Structure 1
Amino acid sequence: MKLAGDDAIARQEDERTATYRVKLPRQVVERPLLQVARRVLIALTVLVVTALIVWIDRDGYNDNSDGHVDLLDSFYYATVTLSTTGYGDITPVSDAARLTNIFVITPLRVLFLIILVGTTLEVLTERTREEWRLKRWRSTLRDHTVVVGFGTKGRSAVETVCASGLKPEQVVVVDPSPKVVESANAHGYAGVTGDATRSSVLLQAEVQRARKIIIATQRDDTAVLVTLTARQLNRGAKIVAAVREEENAPLLRQSGADAVITSASAAGRLLGLSVLSPHAGMVMEDLIQKGSGLDLVERPVTKAEVGLQPKETEDLVVSVIRGHRVLGYDDSAVGSLKLTDRLITITRVTPMTQLAPDMKPTPRG
Structure 2
Amino acid sequence: MRQQASAPSKPLTLRRRSRTPVWLSLLWRVLLALALIAVALAGHWFDRDGLRDNIDGAISFVDVLYFTMITVTTVGYGDIVPVTDQARMFDTFVVTPVRLFVWLIFLGTAYEFLFKHVWERWRMSVIQSKLRGHVVVAGYGTSGAEAVSELVRRGTDPAEIVVIDGHDQSLAAAEAIGANIIDGDATRNATLEAVQVARARAILVSAGRDDTSILIVLTARRLAPDVPISVVIRSEDNEALARQAGADTVINPASFAGMLLAGSTHGPHIADYMADLANAGGQVSLRERTVTAQEVGKSLSAISTGLGLRIYRAGACHGFWEPEVARLEAGDLIVEVVPR
TM-score normalised per structure 1 = 0.68
Note the C-alpha offset of 1:305: 3.0
Whole-Å Cα distance in 2 between the matches of residues 149 and 179 of structure 1? 12
In structure 2, the partner of 1:332 is: 323
Whole-Å Cα distance in 1 between the matches of residues 199 and 303 of structure 2? 38
In structure 2, the partner of 1:277 is: 267
Note the C-alpha offset of 1:138: 1.4
Equivalent residues of 1:318, 1:344 under 8 A apart = yes
Matched, 1:26 2:18: yes
1:306-334 Cα shifts (integer Å, max 9, x gaps):
32212233331111122322211111122
Matched, 1:346 2:332: no
Equivalent residues of 2:134, 2:162 under 8 A apart = yes
Whole-Å Cα distance in 2 between the matches of residues 128 and 196 of structure 1? 24
Equivalent residues of 1:148, 1:174 under 8 A apart = yes
1:260-307 Cα shifts (integer Å, max 9, x gaps):
112211111112222442211100111111343110112333444332
Report the AA paired with residue 206 of structure 1: Q
Q: 1:166 to 1:261 in 2, by over 3 A?
A: same
Question: Which SS does the other structure have where 1:135 is aligned?
Answer: helix
Whole-Å Cα distance in 2 between the matches of residues 120 and 327 of structure 1? 69
TM-score normalised per structure 2 = 0.73
In structure 2, the partner of 1:102 is: 88
Within a 5 Å distance, the mapping from 1:1-365 to structure 2 comes to 8=4, 20-27=12-19, 29-30=21-22, 98-118=84-104, 124=111, 129-314=119-304, 315-349=306-340
How many residue pairs end up in the alignment?
288
CA RMSD of the aligned region, Å?
A: 3.2
Equivalent residues of 2:14, 2:127 under 8 A apart = no
Q: 1:208 to 1:339 in 2, by over 3 A?
A: closer
Report the AA paired with residue 16 of structure 2: L
Whole-Å Cα distance in 2 between the matches of residues 102 and 158 of structure 1? 59
Equivalent residues of 2:13, 2:124 under 8 A apart = no
Note the C-alpha offset of 1:84: 5.0
Whole-Å Cα distance in 2 between the matches of residues 126 and 20 of structure 1? 14
Equivalent residues of 2:313, 2:332 under 8 A apart = yes
Runs of 5+ consecutive residues of structure 1 not aligned to the other structure: 40-81, 350-365
Question: Which SS does the other structure have where 1:278 is aligned?
Answer: coil
Which contiguous aligned blocks of 4+ residues in structure 1 show a shift greater than 6 angstroms? 85-88
Question: Which SS does the other structure have where 2:328 is aligned?
Answer: coil
Report the AA paired with residue 191 of structure 2: V
Report the AA paired with residue 154 of structure 1: G
Question: Which SS does the other structure have where 1:321 is aligned?
Answer: strand
Whole-Å Cα distance in 1 between the matches of residues 293 and 207 of structure 2? 42
In structure 2, the partner of 1:362 is: none
Report the AA paired with residue 102 of structure 2: L
Note the C-alpha offset of 1:154: 1.3
Equivalent residues of 1:160, 1:291 under 8 A apart = no
Q: 1:300 to 1:164 in 2, by over 3 A?
A: farther
